[in-house]
Amino acid sequence: MLSYPNIDPVIFSLGPLHVRWYGLMYVLGFSAAYYLVNRQIRTRKLERWASHFENLNFVLILGLIIGARLGYALFYNFPYYREHPAEIIAVWQGGMSFHGALLGTIAGGIIYCLKNRLDFWQGADLYVVTIPIGLGFGRLGNFINGELFGRVSDVPWAMVFPYGGPQPRHPSQLYECFLEGIVLFVLLWFIKDKKMPTGYLLAFFLILYGLFRSFVELFREPDSQLGFVLAQLTMGQLLSGCMILAGAAIIAFRRKRFSAL
């Protein structure tokens, strides 16, 4: 068994202001995405995207935050927020859903692209290859916070988490950091310049993330307020299964459109 490092979630404090590792991870993720998307736009000389870059980023971040919070309320704790709807806006209390964030970001991107006559599929491919960086940093933040830990285990690298009781558990946040962050980014970045229909990178992201997340959920402790929602399936696995199906549908749809050109 390994010892949990017990890193202080607060990096430093200035009076009532507390700078936390988890918040820093969000900043690092957004900054990396900003840099890499901008680099792709400049390298490919995509002038139209360059002129909309800042405004689109604002819309996507707004969609991400709204979607993440609404997704958590709807998918993971609906009975509570049905009784306390005013608390949905209390994001400082915690509770964000990646699947909700993804839906919110996609919805924001579609609306912006339709309004400004931009190719949504091209834009999605530009941004989606950078998402795993934010995911990786986010899972590191979860690990530092000692949250979203794994199931009880006797593997040599199991850890006793401060909020997980006395039994050692899988450090599933690190599994997710590796698969959904490092591995997924390397795969998408490697194939991003291959000749393929636009929208395929988005589809590959949906499928690969769905597979990786479904696998890691086998080691991650189900949310206490939900448990297993269908037989031995968690909410994360059900939502990830929908992602896999959506990715397959996009490939079929875009292949047909690409062949007709």
Phi/psi for 159 (5° steps) reads -135, 155
- Per 3-state DSSP, the chain is made up of helix, strand and coil in percentages (nearest 5) of 65, 5, 30
pLDDT digits (tens, 9 = 90+) for 22-63: 889 989 999 999 999 999 999 999 999 999 999 999 999 999
29: closest CA among 177, 233, 173?
177
Q: How many residues does the chain have?
A: 261
pLDDT digits (tens, 9 = 90+) for 62-79: 999 999 999 999 999 888
Residues 19, 25, 28, 34: is their CA dihedral positive or negative? negative
Q: Give residue limits of the domains in the chain.
A: 10-260
E strands in the chain: 10-14, 17-20
pTM, two decimal places = 0.93
Tokens of 111: 């609306």
